[in-house]
Amino acid sequence: MGKEKYEESSSDEEVNSSSDVVEASSDEEVESSSDEVEASSDDVESSEDESSSDNEKVEESDSSEDEVAPRNTVGDIPLVEWHKDEEHIGYDIKGRKIMKQPRKDKLASFIEGADDPKNWRKIYDEYNDEEIELTKDEIKIIQRVISGRTPHAEVNPYEDYVDWFEYEDKGHPLSNAPEPKRRFIPSKWEQKRVANLVRKIRAGLIKVSDQHKEEEHNVYSLWTDDTDSVENKKHGGYVPAPKPKLPGHEEAYNPPVEYIPTAEEINSYELMYEEDRPKFIPRRYLNYRSVPAYDKGVKESFDRCLDQYLCPRTRKKRINIDPESLKPKLPSRKDLRPYPTTCYLEYRGHMGPVNCISVDPSGQWLASGSTDGTARVWEIETGRCLKIWEVGEVARQICWNPSPDRPILAVVLEYDVLLLNSGMGDIDIQTKMKELLHISEPGATEDAGDSKSAVTWIQHEKHDGIRMKHFKAVLSIEWHFKGDYFTTVVPSGDSKAILLHQLSKKHSETPFRKLGIPVTAVFHPSKKKFFVATKKFVHVYDLSKVEKIQKLETGVREISSISIHPGGENIIVGSKEGKMCWFDLELSTRPYKTLKVHSKDITRVTFHRTYPLFASASDDCTAYVFHSTVYSDLNQNPLIVPLEILRGHKPEHGRGVLDCKYHPRQPWLFTAGADSIIKLYCH
Amino acid sequence: MEPNGSGSDASRQVQVRFVTRLPPPLRVPPASMAVPSHLTRFGLSDIVNLLLKNSDPDHENQPFDFLIDGELVRMQLDEFLIAKGISAEKVLELEYVKAVAPRKQEDPRPHDDWVSAVDGSNSSFILTGCYDTFVRIWKSGDVSECTHVLEGHTGAITSAKFIDIRGVENEQNFHLVTGSKDRLLRLWKCDAAKRRGDPIRVGAYKILAGHTSSVQSVSVNPSREMICSGSWDCSIKLWDVKESEEDGDGNTISLKKRKVNSKTKESEDARLEGAATSTLVGHTQCVSVVTWPDPDVLYSASWDHSVRQWDVPSGKETWTMVCGKALNCLDIGGEGSALVAAGGSDPVLRIWDPRKPGSLAPIFQYSSHSSWISACKWHPRSWFHLLSASYDGKVMLWDLRTAWPLAVMESHQNKVLCVDWWKDDSVVSGGADSKLCITSGIEIQ
């Protein structure tokens, strides 16, 4: 009952005052707004039950709003305008269209409004495209806001003032009392405490740390050039432009005379590369106005534009390396003297290419074998030919017995190996040699088991030596360092390819089988080891156990010769494609170093017996001399230094230097050439 | 410097005074005179000849050499002064000496094989050793005349020396020693008085065996009692000759005569054999040359790159000098007979002064040769002159006072293996062209 009364009274009262709200909702509702309920001037508290019920309604509507999502899913856009032609105003969460409310034309809505008594409190919500009917409470709040009161009637804006602080009979806030004495005298307790601290610090009980220093790190220079900082580099940051050189005196229009280049200097600039040429040549002018226009100005600005256009946008990391520093640090050649450099002596006399040479262990004589069918002995110091053997066939290899008591020469012919008495040495040695090189029974040695068919030892009548007839062509020969054993290599001999012979017993055997095609074989200079080179590998055998120890992979196409360092732990291998490999047996089975030096086949590599030298001879008519220090310290790799290229031989039928050997005691190198000359290179 | 005010650069003049130690007919007045500074020694020589002709109309022109401060002038005078830093303001003292140059090339004495040893210490005979195992004695004279052929060695002769260098009374009868590649030394006696048309064949009266390898060099003690030999077996052996001479005087001569007359082939039966009195060990390689300039001091050079001095009585090494090259020749001579000249496996002839303490650097190096140096020899009397022979076929005459050779004798067509002075004014040299060449007329004061 009270409600209705309230409604009516309020509607009558407040027609004018509610006109603003009505205007805001719609023009047609102007007169219907007369029954607008304005919050009564009475206290809201007076009708408590009403307000509570209203509140409940509001809460209900709030919660329903929360449950039902707002129709608008497209945001705060002018829906009316943008969706004017559409039938929907957006999409719901399932992708269905949210349809527009059916639009009424103005007449229909007016008629409907006239019929509906609640029309005056309906508002069109543009955001959600729907009509909302305002509740009574809402209208009440609107009324209160319009009239400048608090929206909710239950709020009391004028609460009683509660004074929390006492200020009555306090007088002046500052004390008027005189200052106490303790304010003027140093504190006794503080003094005691300081004294205590000082004592403790002195006693070391308290450590004073420099804390203030750390704070200094926080200070940084605001304007510093941090282009080099790690932070900047990491992010590819700012790169400052290079600073141009400031103009100096020479750029003046009338520079001092010492800046002016002479005519020769200007001419020398012409000879320089354009990049190296100075960009600016100082000149003198009488006065400033006679300085001509800068002729390169257009070009330079064009270049600058070009630079900027072509400037790479990425940061390149350029490593500044001095190319010199990449070179291996090798000692100077001067410090590695002596080594052979110049040819002073030639041994002439052979009529055909000299295939092989060998120096006798004392260093007095040189033996050589040639294609002309002779083997010769030369006196090294004078170059005189002392002895000639007409062997009748091409002498392929020649080898002095390394023992000084046995001046025997081994000469390899096609199928034969001749053991010749060189005739050097005194009478005692000569008689011994005659005994040694005598075969009492020609057939006596043929009972050497399976090697019977491989080698036959025959007395050679003509040259008073031994002829060892092999079953196939012999390629090379090598003596054992003691001078009793020697080995011959018969490449096509299959299982009998490597033959070991004993001179004193005139006995031969074939201890190694299944080797492939051996090229050459050598003895270890001091141990019981044996090296066999096939075309691509070098096999190392233990002679006492007759078993393979190592297999060295050379990586070259075809081995032509090998040589063992006098220390016995290093090997050089020369190949037919001009490569030379250095093996360190302690290090690896692969080459420690591969030197590509010659343009043609290497015919011979050889070590010096005493000096740290080795050499290679090649068909390109040169011989190379190298220095090689082998350290006893296993951690240090051998040092190899190329020293000298020895030239002088002339090519003959495409062949150059066929053999090279070092003098056993001097740093001299003998080279045998296809031009039938033997040369001696001395230091 | 420009006396007449007319001087341009081309005619700068130097005040010089000619002095000499030559005998009076070759002395010029000691007045100083101005000569153009661009003169060489030939121009200066002309001036001296002109001055001599002024005083003596019969004077025959001859070349002179000029010394400034003990150095031979080998370029233009002004260049020389600049090079040596000598002031041209003062009066320059030019000492002139007779130019040393070979005047005459005698006929070469042909051999059958390479001539590997020569000795010219006897003024009337030349001794040569040859690769055909024979030792020959040549009499001095214009015609080539071989008086004796010493046969017996079985290897190439490497060294041959006269033992007796006595007075004229014994010149016709002398003893010899030879070393050979057959490891033996042989002692020989020759009597030059008994000679017929053909060369006399002589056999050795004593064989000195002991070396185990080629004997490379023999040398005779100046007191003629001992000889020494260096060999490929790295040792130096000393041999006593004197007692064998004494006891062998009677029978060996008869033996030799018998052998010569009967022409029997060599047999070892009656020949004396000698053994080394001592062996000096120290070299590690072939001892290529030994020389014995002083009775107590012996020098040796070796392929182990060293020159060693030995004290003979004690057999100890007293001085060693390493030069870095294998040495082929060595000679002691020069100033105070103390300088060591040696050459070897490079084209440089080096001279050392062993008296200089603390230094093993050569004091002179002469490098005009182009191949190994095979022999070097000091002039027996001069302090400045020495000879060198090389495998490049040249014999060079050097004066210590200049870096250029005084004379280059290119008489050989092949390697020169040995060289020696003969009669103070001739050079005898043998080489691989099987010739003994004699170059004479070298006047050395």
CB contact (8 A) between residue B232 and residue A381: no
Residue with tokens 């018969």: A490
CB contact (8 A) between residue A344 and residue B303: no
Kindly report the pTM of this predicted structure.
0.67
**How high is the mean pLDDT of chain A?**
80
Find residue A618's DSSP bridge partners: A602
Residue with tokens 């740390």: A209
pLDDT for position A203 = 92
Alpha-carbon gap, residue A332 to A324, rounded angstroms: 15
CB contact (8 A) between residue A344 and residue B131: no
Q: Which residues of B touch A362 (CB under 8 A)?
A: 213, 232, 286
CB contact (8 A) between residue A665 and residue B391: no
Q: Which of A576-590, B78-92, B98-112, B137-151 has the lowest mean pLDDT?
A: B137-151
Find residue A124's DSSP bridge partners: A131
CB contact (8 A) between residue B285 and residue A683: no
Secondary structure element (H or E) that encloses residue A216, with its range: helix A211-216
CB B263: neighbour CB atoms within 10 A?
Answer: 7
pLDDT for position A624 = 92
pLDDT for position A234 = 67
The DSSP bridge pattern shows strands B200-202 and B146-150 to be: parallel
Whether the pLDDT of residue A345 is over 70: the answer is: yes
Residues in chain A: 683
* DSSP secondary structure of B120-133: --SSSEEEEEETTS
* DSSP secondary structure of B359-394: --S-SEEE---SS-EEEEEE-SS-SSEEEEEETTS-
Q: Which residue has the higher pLDDT, A301 or B32?
A: A301
SS (H, E, C) A506-537: CEEECCCCCCCCEEEEEECCCCCEEEEEECCE
Six token digits for residue A405: 């008591």
Six token digits for residue B6: 């007319």
CB-based contact B223:B242 (threshold 8 Å): no
Whether the pLDDT of residue B197 is over 60: the answer is: yes
C-alpha closest to that of B333 among B390, B300, B382 = B382
Its sign, for the CA torsion B247, B253, B258, B259, is positive
Q: Which residues of A touch B371 (CB under 8 A)?
A: 344-345
CB-based contact A471:A417 (threshold 8 Å): no
Whether the pLDDT of residue A193 is over 90: the answer is: yes
CB-based contact (8 Å) between A421 and chain B? no
Q: What counts of helices (H) and strands (E) characterise chain A?
A: 13, 33
CB-based contact B112:B434 (threshold 8 Å): yes
A293/chain B closest Cα distance in angstroms: 50
pLDDT digit string, tens, across residues A261-295? 999 998 998 888 888 888 888 999 999 999 988 88
Alpha-carbon gap, residue B32 to B15, rounded angstroms: 6
| Buried/exposed B321-333: b ≥16 CB within 10 Å, e otherwise | bebebbbbbbbbb
B428/chain A closest Cα distance in angstroms: 19
pLDDT digit string, tens, across residues A306-317? 988 887 767 677
Q: Report residue B126's pLDDT band, with 50, 70 and 90 as the boundaries.
A: confident
Q: Which residue has the higher pLDDT, A635 or A192?
A: A192
B90/chain A closest Cα distance in angstroms: 40
**How high is the mean pLDDT of chain B?**
81
Whether the pLDDT of residue B128 is over 50: the answer is: yes
Share of chain B above pLDDT 90, in %: 7
pLDDT for position B2 = 38
Average pLDDT over residues B391-417: 88
Six token digits for residue A222: 């605001």
Q: Which of A51-65, B160-174, B374-388 has the lowest mean pLDDT?
A: A51-65
Q: From the list A342, A381, A683, which residue is nearest B328 (CB)?
A: A381
Alpha-carbon gap, residue B12 to B2, rounded angstroms: 7
Whether the pLDDT of residue A240 is over 60: the answer is: yes
* DSSP secondary structure of A317-345: ------HHHHS-----GGGG-----EEEE
Whether the pLDDT of residue B168 is over 60: the answer is: no
Q: From the list A381, A384, A682, which residue is nearest B346 (CB)?
A: A682
Q: Tell me which chain A residue has its CA closest to the CA of residue B324.
A: A338
CB-based contact (8 Å) between A629 and chain B? no
Q: Report residue A433's pLDDT band, with 50, 70 and 90 as the boundaries.
A: confident
Alpha-carbon gap, residue A289 to B360, rounded angstroms: 74
Cis geometry, peptide bond prior to residue A338 (ω within 30 degrees of 0)? yes
Question: Residue A652 CA to chain centroid, in angstroms?
Answer: 49
Whether the pLDDT of residue B295 is over 80: the answer is: yes
B316/chain A closest Cα distance in angstroms: 25
CB-based contact B307:B330 (threshold 8 Å): yes
Inter-chain Cβ pairs, chain A and chain B, closer than 8 A: 54
Q: Which residues of A touch B303 (CB under 8 A)?
A: 363, 665-666
Question: Residue B58 CA to chain centroid, in angstroms?
Answer: 36
Residue with tokens 């009195």: B277
Q: Which residues of A touch B212 (CB under 8 A)?
A: 426
Whether the pLDDT of residue A225 is over 70: the answer is: no
B192 burial (CB, 10 Å; 0-12 / 13-18 / 19+) is middle
Average pLDDT over residues A372-379: 90
The DSSP bridge pattern shows strands B92-98 and B13-20 to be: parallel
Alpha-carbon gap, residue B58 to A135, rounded angstroms: 167
B132/chain A closest Cα distance in angstroms: 11
- Classify A575 as helix, strand or coil: strand
Residue with tokens 């008495």: A421
- CB proximity list for A177: less than 8 A, separation 6 or greater: none
Q: Which residues of B touch A342 (CB under 8 A)?
A: 346
Q: Which residue has the higher pLDDT, A79 or B367?
A: B367
Q: Which residues of A touch B372 (CB under 8 A)?
A: 344-345, 682
* DSSP secondary structure of A602-671: EEEEEE-SSSSEEEEEETTS-EEEEEEE--SSTTSPPEEEEEEEE-----BTTB-EEEEEE-SSSS-EEE
CB contact (8 A) between residue A382 and residue B432: yes
Alpha-carbon gap, residue B442 to B445, rounded angstroms: 10
| Best residue of B211, B372, B373, B394 to probe chain A, by most A CBs closer than 10 Å | B372
Average pLDDT over residues A643-659: 89
pLDDT for position B250 = 38
User: Given its phi and psi angles, is residue A15 left (phi above 0), alpha (psi -120 to 50 degrees) or beta?
Assistant: alpha
| A45-49, B11-15, B163-167, B401-405 — most confident range | B401-405
pLDDT for position A273 = 87
Q: From the list A344, A381, A665, which residue is nearest B371 (CB)?
A: A344
Q: Which of residues 236-265 of B touch A (CB under 8 A)?
A: none
pLDDT digit string, tens, across residues A363-372? 888 999 999 8
pLDDT for position B435 = 87
pLDDT for position B200 = 76
pLDDT digit string, tens, across residues A52-101? 444 444 444 444 445 566 778 888 888 778 887 888 888 888 888 888 87
Alpha-carbon gap, residue A304 to A306, rounded angstroms: 5
pLDDT for position A6 = 42
CB contact (8 A) between residue B391 and residue A344: yes
**Radius of gyration of the CA atoms of chain B, in A:** 25
C-alpha closest to that of B192 among B171, B166, B177 = B171
Phi then psi for residue A369, to 5 deg, are: -125, 145
Average pLDDT over residues A101-109: 79
Q: From the list B212, B286, B328, which residue is nearest A426 (CB)?
A: B212
CB contact (8 A) between residue A382 and residue B183: no
CB-based contact (8 Å) between B212 and chain A? yes
